[in-house]
Amino acid sequence: RFTQRARNVVMAAHNEARAARHAEIVPAHLVLGLLAEPESIAAGVLLGPEITPAALRAAAAAALPAAAEEVPELIPYDADSRKVLELTFREALRLGHNYVGTEHILLALLEFEGGSG
């Protein structure tokens, strides 16, 4: 159900967490993952003259946890990220789409309350 771009965003979020030695994937990693697809609908909405990739990266980085002593091989999603991913499906269904794209990830991050998205 995930488009290739949406899968790339999720994989990029995982890669961001691994590179920063984080023990869990948090919503801010998903925001960073959106930067991995600069031609996506989500990037088109997020980025522009006022919001550059560097500015978005800096804002997301401020919400990231500290590096962990040990990083698991398969980095789990924290409860907030799992909720965001659940919301991506709801957004797709609400819009009548039979796929999950980067736009649904962005909408889910925006809808998520209490998170860093």
The domain segmentation of the chain, as residue ranges, is: 4-111
Output the pTM of the full model. Answer: 0.90
* 47: exposed, middle or buried (Cβ count in 10 Å: 0-12, 13-18, 19+): middle
Model pLDDT for residues 50-89, shown as the tens digit of each residue: 899 999 999 999 999 999 999 999 999 999 999 999 999 9
What per-residue confidence (pLDDT) applies to 114? 52
- Distance of alpha carbon 106 from the chain centroid: 7
Model pLDDT for residues 16-59, shown as the tens digit of each residue: 999 999 999 999 999 999 999 999 999 999 998 889 999 999 99
The dotted CATH code for 4-111 is 1.10.1780.10
Alpha-carbon gap, residue 24 to 35, rounded angstroms? 19
